[in-house]
Amino acid sequence: MGINGKGTATSLRQAIKQFLMQDIDESGSRGRIVKIFSSAGITVTRNETAYIASKAAVSMLTKSLTLDHAKGLTNVNAVCPGVARTAMASTNLRDLAIINKLKKGTPWPWLGEPSDIAKVVAFL
């Protein structure tokens, strides 16, 4: 909770503080925040109670900031990519049984790639 909840809240508070001092840019915004966090903040799995609770705190914090700062022209969005082929997931992605189980948990016929996430972030 300290890192995921309080750490996120502190960094977001500082970013928004800066954004509120900035002029409005050509797209009508003072700044943009794109939070990338685990889909565990919006779904539930077994045996991950503390992790899920901390990620749910980040999810709700992001939603709340979206409402609180829209009139101040600060855009706040979140990307919850699920499983992607990153260094953090590399151990699990060496095991075919785990890969097949992960694929069953997604509507797509493949797992995500870091470039998929990057495209969404660049858009936002």
Residues with catalytic annotation?
51
Q: Which helix (H) or strand (E) holds 120?
A: helix 114-123
Q: Whole-angstrom Cα distance, residue 78 to residue 67?
A: 13
CA 82 to the chain's CA centroid = 10
Tokens of 8: 């996120």
